[in-house]
Amino acid sequence: MSETVTKTTSSHWGAFNVTTQGDRIVSVSEFSLDPNPSSIPRHVPAAVHHSSRVSRPSIRKSWLEHGPLDESSRKLRGKEKFVELPWDEAIEIAANELDRVRIKHGNQSIYGGSYGWASAGRFHHALSQVHRFLNCAGGYVSSVASYSTAAAQAIIPHVFGVHFLKFMWSELNTWPVIAEHTQTLIMFGGINPKNSQVSMGGITHHETNPWFEKFAKRGIRRVNISPQRTDTPDGAEWLAVRPGTDTAFMLGLAWVIQSEGWEDRSFLEKYCTGYDQFLPYLVGDSDGQPKTPVWAAGICGIDADTIRQLAASMVKTRTLITVAWSLQRAEHGEQPYWMAATLAAMIGQIGLPGGGIGYGYGAIGGIGISVKRLGALTLPQGENPVKASIPVARIADMLLQPGEQFDFNGQKLTYPDIKLVYWCGGNPFHHHQNLSRLELAWQQPETIIVNEPWWTATACRADIVFPATTSYERNDIGRAQGDSYLFHMPALIPAVGEAKDDYMIFSALSEKMGFGEVFTENRSSEEWLRHLYDEFVTESKHEKIDVPSFESLIENNWVDLPIRSAEYSTRPFSAFFDDPKKSPLNTPSGKIEIFSETIAGFSYSDCPGHATWLPPSEWLGADQAQKFPLHLVSPQPGDKLHSQLECAIADIPGERPTPVVIHPKNAKDRRITDGSLVRIYNDRGACIAKARISEDIARNVIALPTGAWFTPDKNGVDSQGNPNVLTQDIGTSRLGQGSSAHSCLVEVKPEL
């Protein structure tokens, strides 16, 4: 009988122990030092050995027979079989096709797609691997921002003069500071421990729930402003706001503060610019509509007295306003982020311990943790000679509208004409909106190449598919910015089937294309690991942090570095608030910009010069709500990361189709019973889901988590409950061009 071995590995959802027998993972168990471990790893054994694994290099039948120029063949993507080939033959075909496209059309006709969540390992990071390879090949059209935070990444630099991700990692109150100083915690969109199970690169200490237990014991008032009660840990007050109306709610609060004379004028004058341009809008002088609590209540569904009382509490206590990522994943998603900053500035608490503004708590696990930031073991991607890029959520527009101009954050750009897509480490048929439109767009390129462990919807719609290993089939190093742990992630089992890691695949392609040494620098995977690790050790010494030798890390499996402590909690923007003249922000004014001359100069009707209530095209107050009277929100799943491990979950009896949460009144009106199958639909598409009736969701709102593999039947109806067959594929605004997934109206009926 094969030897049973147990080792620890890391993942985006944290550390866990893996037990193997021979070439199989047989079980997993919790990492004992995690105070609140995730349950996601329980699906790993079934997923790694699932029948949907890509076993050999595969090429779509008609593409292989007729070549990339047969337009009729492209319509068969996702509908026909693949032909398995030996590795050397498949590599040669792919290399020749890459060469054909870059020679005939130029590298600006190649789009390099990835999304960075494929592995928590630092070397086998799919995004870095594919981008390094394409840069060595002469470049590619890239994407900027993310589906999760594109609108935030556009607006925050204009308001605070700092990149949004740096803001979240370095300029937020940490959990210990909140516990000590905050008296009122106002959470727009909640702070969801379900989402904080995961973090980029991993999160070993899941701390959200334990900290909320401390908040409760200390008596911090916790107010959850969200369509779902479950968007915060138990015990918070719940204000069931209508989706997409948070900006109006905030304006109602701001009107009370201003009308009562509670605004902190000295703070606004010393640290901010533009309040006097914003004020006429707030009081109604510029548009004839004062933003009173009564006005706000008619939009957001929270009564006026509650708005008044909350405003009073905010100015009388140390108040931290937090905003979830979900709010900016909607039409005009920039506005609640801007308005929350304006509101926090009005009460003058930005820069005070436990007060002010915070973004992204609960969105991922690393936010709020007191940890010293170290260098991040990064494979160099090289320089991209192609300067063209698109906002990541505009992929379908790019493929469908080559040569058309579009606006983005003050720039007038043109969509490139893409002939070849290389996708590695991601599933756009999970992330993207309006999947029937994406499927049409996916038929436009001449060739699509994918590295993928499983036959996802994306792999099924490719032309060339290379079987990739999972992180359990290769050696790597685990290290994340918001975590103190460093892991050796050992190869736990041999590669499944004929799978190879991305580095091996790209090494073979680059060798065939004539730049093998440029890509590999004559290093094997193991030599790269040691090289990157040695750099990390050297950088850490400069920070006075001792890191064990590579051999010691391998022997011990993991180490908890001495970098997690309350002493690493700092006041947000401390230098600026101590002396704004000596340490100004990187904005045109050097201050927090309540009004932005820059944005106003763009003349975008969908993003004016200060925070503004702009009704989405789809919300419960729209005319379209007469036809589709339910607002769909599509939160992150609690049982996995994005669509990963879904193949294993879908095999569990009763788990699919995905449950949709619906209020008892809405269910009763439609004769829907708990556990019954329902059809969710609008003019864009339809999917089947399983009803879960609950009073923990606002009336006229339903919640269908993302992550089900796109599985349309012959009529185009998704059978697994994928909400992105329903969502809109439009930008948040011309400023951010982010995803507008949460601006979506639908109807639901029993599936007979």
Instruction: Give catalytic residues, as residue numbers.
Output: 115, 117
Q: Which residue has the tokens 């801007």?
A: 338
Q: Is 431 helix (H, G, I), strand (E, B) or coil?
A: helix
CB 207 within 8 Å of CB 369: yes
* Nearest residue to 132 via CA among 535, 526, 502, 417: 502
How far from 55 is each of 59, 86, 185, 508, CA to CA, in Å? Answer: 12, 11, 50, 18
Give me 541's structure tokens.
């010494």
Cα–Cα distance for residue pair 342/613, rounded to 1 Å: 13
Q: Strand runs (DSSP E) across 474-599, as ranges? A: 476-479, 485-489, 558-560, 592-593
Q: What is the CA radius of gyration of the chain?
A: 26
Strands 411-414 and 405-408 come out as: antiparallel
Q: Strand runs (DSSP E) across 521-561, as ranges? A: 558-560
Longest Cα separation, the chain = 81
Query: In this structure, what DSSP letter does residue 684 have?
Result: T
Cα–Cα distance for residue pair 655/721, rounded to 1 Å: 11
Give me 37's structure tokens.
């471990």
DSSP labels, 598-660: HHHHHT-TTS-SB------SSSTTSGGGGTS-EEEE-PPPSSSSTTTTHHHHHTSTT--SPEE
Cα–Cα distance for residue pair 331/329, rounded to 1 Å: 7
Helix (H) or strand (E) holding 677: strand 677-682
CB 150 within 8 Å of CB 730: no
CB 336 within 8 Å of CB 748: no
Long-range contacts, stretch 163-172, CB < 8 angstroms, 24+ apart: 164/359, 167/359, 168/359, 168/360, 168/367, 169/366, 169/367, 169/373, 169/481, 169/482, 170/373, 170/570, 171/572, 171/573, 172/358, 172/359, 172/360, 172/361, 172/367, 172/368, 172/572
